[in-house]
Amino acid sequence: MQTELADFIAGTTDGDEAQTIIGKCVHCGFCTATCPTYQLLGDELDGPRGRIYLMKQMFEGQPVTEKTQLHLDRCLTCRSCETTCPSGVQYGRLIEIGRRVAETRVERPVSQRLLRYALATVVPRRRVFGAAMEIGRFARPFLGTKLKEKIPRGQVPRAIPDRQHSRRMLLLEGCVQPSMLPNINIATRRVLDSLGVQLVSAPGAGCCGAIRMHLSQAEDGLDDVRRNIDAWWPYVDNGVEAIVMNASGCGATVKEYGHLLRNDASYAKKAARISALTKDLAELLPTFSDTLVSMIGGMCTSKVAFHPPCTLQHGQQIKGAVEGLLESIGVDVRLPTDSHLCCGSAGTYSITQPELAGKLRSNKLAALEHTEADIIVSANIGCITHLGAATDTPVRHWIELLDDLISSRPRA
């Protein structure tokens, strides 16, 4: 598809990238069939091909309306369409550019601006978010259902290992994870410790940048990216083996750092190195599969359903790794039907588009419960809390399952 860029975007980095991406689209519509919002709404403009047309028109200088913005807002950025596309259209990158442009063309109602400001200000700041979570937990009995479900019950933190190992890797603890479900980071440390790897955290590292970038606050999001690079660089210089991600949403973003800062002379090389060092647990743990089989093989007696987050299967294109590892240690692991579809969490989507997010969650939970599993595991804090708020079946990170098995194994 040819795009004649309007003056306002012609010759810019965003314009060039958008033109190249749109140029690959051959309008075949294969992507539409696997788009969750098209499946729910049945409107071409709520599918990837329709949104690409809308963005093309916008970049060509045609009027941008609230309706344009609504169709772009309704996109989950799940990137299921990228997995399906036979032409390699990088839709995820395109929608970020499209949203940024729409944001400058359409003024949002005050209520939306306030909500987006609050999300961009509170969520990425670990301490501020942690304090808000504490207050929320205290007030939980008095809150309405909608608010209550955003506040998971507190966890009793498990013991953090303090052994030193010669193998060292960095861990991104994230912005919301330490206060929402602290045992995910702790389980990650415990499992890696039992495998002879010490995880270290860099003071100063925090939100990966996704929250603000997805809210079209690109510059603020890039500040988060640069801050993380500055915090991690001394450890990279000292030879850490990898930067470990246990939230697939953060992993998908950190793997994009090289691309995001490709034109920043001071950070481009460092950003590319950081992205190259980044590994999701789903990539790292299978390298220890023989040890895990000998440690905990055959110990799991529960039936386990796995929900693969979009940021893992579409964003990072990691498919089958978690299920394969769990199966290798004898876990009865089950995938729900339509496992390629989003659960509706999608960063802040469940807050900005609650109705669609609720429908996607109901569909996902029905599919997961149909597997008759005893527990549901996933790989991203957003999916875990979103699903966990609407089912009695326990929903956990799969690394917590491994931690439980390792902790309960008989000692020699």
Positions touching ligand SF4 (CB under 6 A) are 25-31, 35-37, 48-49, 51, 75-81, 84-85, 87, 89, 91
Which of 85/171 has CB closer to ligand SF4? 85
Which of 70/293 has CB closer to ligand SF4? 70
The CA angle 142-147-150, to the nearest 5 degrees, is: 120
> Could you say which DSSP state residue 109 is in?
P
Which of 26/160 has CB closer to ligand SF4? 26
Which of 179/378 has CB closer to ligand SF4? 378
Q: How far is the CB of 359 from ligand SF4 (least distance, A)?
A: 13
Sheet hosting strand 303-306, strand order edge to edge: 332-334, 303-306, 375-378, 395-397
| Helix, strand or coil, per DSSP, at residue 171 | strand
Q: How far is the CB of 367 from ligand SF4 (least distance, A)?
A: 17
Cα 190 from chain centroid (whole Å) = 23
Paired tokens of 220: 């603020």
| Helix, strand or coil, per DSSP, at residue 279 | strand
Check: CB of residue 52 under 8 Å from CB of residue 68: no
Which of 22/387 has CB closer to ligand SF4? 22
Which of 217/311 has CB closer to ligand SF4? 311
Q: How far is the CB of 353 from ligand SF4 (least distance, A)?
A: 10
**110-113 own/partner pairs: CB under 8 Å, 24+ apart:** 112/352
Dihedral angle computed from the Cα positions of residues 166, 289, 329 and 253, in that order, rounded to the nearest 10 degrees: 90
Strand ranges (E), 272-336: 278-280, 303-306, 332-334
Q: How far is the CB of 225 from ligand SF4 (least distance, A)?
A: 21
Q: How far is the CB of 50 from ligand SF4 (least distance, A)?
A: 9
Burial (CB count <10 Å: 0-12, 13-18, 19+), residue 27 = exposed
Stated as kind and residue range, the H or E segment containing 191 is helix 183-194
Using the CB atoms, write b or e for 200-223: b if 16+ within 10 Å: ebbeebbbbbbbbbbbbbbebbbe
Q: How far is the CB of 45 from ligand SF4 (least distance, A)?
A: 10
| Contacts for 124 with CB less than 8 Å, ≥ 6 apart | 175, 206, 207, 209, 211, 212, 224
Which of 92/388 has CB closer to ligand SF4? 92
Which of 165/319 has CB closer to ligand SF4? 319
Q: Rounded to whole angstroms, how far apart are CA atoms 78 and 312?
A: 10
Which of 190/307 has CB closer to ligand SF4? 307
Q: How far is the CB of 326 from ligand SF4 (least distance, A)?
A: 26
Q: How far is the CB of 103 from ligand SF4 (least distance, A)?
A: 17
Q: How far is the CB of 57 from ligand SF4 (least distance, A)?
A: 15
Q: Rounded to whole angstroms, how far apart are CA atoms 177 and 244?
A: 14
